[in-house]
Structure 1
Amino acid sequence: MTSRVLLVSPAMSASLRQARFDDGGSLDDSGAARARAAAGSLPAAVRVLASPSVRCRETAAALGLDGVPVPELAGLDVGRWRGRSLEEVGAVEPEAVGRWLTDPACAPHGGESVEDLCERVTRWLADAQGVEGRTLAVVEPEVVRAAVVAALGLPTPVFWRLDVTPLAVTELSGRGGRWNLRLGRPPVAPEVH
């Protein structure tokens, strides 16, 4: 049995545009328009899921999907840094930010570590491999990163080397405890001007 997982990152929001840790805000107008323009462009799936964040649920809805929020697919819990930019946090807590960016087991913000996120997503992927057919999930960029790290058995520090653009699609196919990563799928829709 082959399982397929398509991970779609959320459309643009003010938080993403300002490089802020998710603050629970909505998509911005251009992000919502771009997601609506992509409605119908994704293949059918046996199940459609979403990170519980507002921007992921709104992206799913704009894509015409009825995504079921799944707690295991939540973005990284950054504790007291939520809603702040990395630059703002770095100005106040430079040593903490430095440790966080170099040690995947570190969580100076009081939330969860990158290592914890990767372990959570690894467990979810193991369960997803038991689902025949395609799973489509609109998830936070850090969940996409964690899934790629898990699927390819990469060292956790690689997490920071993976860039995920808005509305990008990452495709994994798995069988027998092994995942493959399909590269080269374009973002869901072209830019809306």
Structure 2
Amino acid sequence: MTSRVTLVSPATSPSLRQARFYDGDSLDDAGAARARSAAGSLRAASRVLSSASPRCRDTAGALGLDAVEAAELAPLDMGRWRGRTLEEVAAAEPESVGRWLADPGWAAHGGESVREVCDRVGNWLETARDTEGRTVAVVEPEVVRAAVVHVLGLPPAAFWRLDVEPLTATELSGRAGRWNLRLGRPLAAP
């Protein structure tokens, strides 16, 4: 049995454009229009999931997908840094930011560590491998990063070296104890 999982990154939002740690905002007008124009560009799926974040739910809706929220696909919890830019946090807590970027197990911001999100998403992928058919999941970029780290067996330190563009599809196919990966296909009007 081959399991197919397509991870779709959300369209743009104000926090994404301003390089702020996600604060729960919705799509901006341009992001919503781009997502609506890409409706119908994904293959039909037997299961459609979404991160609980508003921009993922809104992206799914704009793509014409009726998604069910999946707790395992939640965004990385940024704790007290939520809503702030990396520049602001680095100015206020330079040692903390340096350690956070270098140590995947560190989460002194009061949220979730990179290692924790990689483990959570990796565990979800292992259960998804046993799911027949195609799954489409609209998820935050850090969930896509964590999935790539898992399927390639990369160390969690590689997490920050992976860029995920808005409104792209990362496609995974799993069988015989391994995953294959296709990265960053832009979603466009069919």
> What TM-score do you get using the length of structure 1 for normalisation?
0.96
Q: Partner of 1:137 in structure 2?
A: 137
| % identical aligned pairs | 72
Q: Partner of 1:99 in structure 2?
A: 99
Q: Partner of 2:169 in structure 1?
A: 169
Show the 5 A alignment for 1:71-110: 71-110=71-110
Tell me which amino acid in the other structure corresponds to 1:68. V
Q: Partner of 2:26 in structure 1?
A: 26
Contact kept? 1:32, 1:62, Cα under 8 Å:
yes
Deviation of the 1:73 alpha carbon: 0.1
Equivalent position SS for 2:167: coil
Root-mean-square deviation (Å)? 0.9
Q: Partner of 2:186 in structure 1?
A: 187
Distance in 2 separating the partners of 1:76 and 1:182: 23
Structure 1 runs of 4+ aligned residues shifted over 3 Å read: none
> What TM-score do you get using the length of structure 2 for normalisation?
0.97
Deviation readout 1:79-113 (Å, 9 max, x if unpaired):
00011111111110000000000000000201010
Deviation of the 1:186 alpha carbon: 2.8
Deviation of the 1:175 alpha carbon: 0.8
Deviation of the 1:6 alpha carbon: 0.2
Distance in 2 separating the partners of 1:165 and 1:132: 28
Count of residues in Structure 1 that have an aligned counterpart in Structure 2: 189
Question: Runs of 5+ in structure 1 lacking a partner?
Answer: none
Distance in 1 separating the partners of 2:12 and 2:64: 17
Tell me which amino acid in the other structure corresponds to 2:110. G
Distance in 2 separating the partners of 1:176 and 1:12: 36
Q: Partner of 1:60 in structure 2?
A: 60
Tell me which amino acid in the other structure corresponds to 1:139. V
Equivalent position SS for 1:186: strand
Tell me which amino acid in the other structure corresponds to 1:6. T
Contact kept? 1:126, 1:177, Cα under 8 Å:
no
Deviation of the 1:133 alpha carbon: 1.0
